[in-house]
Copies of this chain bind each other. A is one copy, B any other.
Amino acid sequence: MNNDLSSLIQALRDFAQARDWEQFHSPKNLASALSVEVAELLEHFQWLTEDQSRHLSEPKRAEVAAEAADVLLYLLQLCDKLDIDLIEAARRKMIVNGEKYPVDSSRASSKKYTDI
């Protein structure tokens, strides 16, 4: 895991420990909290058109950034509790995705996106 993420993970550990919050942070609870934070992010987009979502106002963009941060922070805590190396898992998943969606047969017309 790289330096930036490692220092965030350490800061999250210290934060929870100082407040005696570790007792609440079971993986089950953290997965729920992650889900709630993602919904707070989605809420910003629910009534926008796709085009509007590409051109957020600056205040809205800042709110979305704060929600995205919450998502990352809970995701890091969940992975920390389960001893999962998130970057390594992401790299592996990109390889799996490359095999699942070969370039030639996956262009635009991909069933993934066009199954209405």
Contacts and interface: CB of A to CB of B under 8 A. Distances in A.
Interface of A: 1-5, 8, 11-12, 15, 18-21, 23-24, 26-29, 31-36, 38-57, 60-61, 64-66, 68-73, 75, 78-79, 81-84, 86-87, 89-94, 96-98, 101, 103, 106-108, 110, 112-113, 115-116
A45 B84 CA distance: 16
Given A32-B45, A69-B90, 4 more contacts: A19-B101, A23-B108, A35-B35, A38-B38
A4 B87 CA distance: 7
- How many of these chains are in the complex? 4
Interface of A: prevailing SS: helix
Nearest to A70: B93
Given A106-B19, A116-B60, A54 B81 contact: yes
Contacts of A46: 29, 32-33, 36
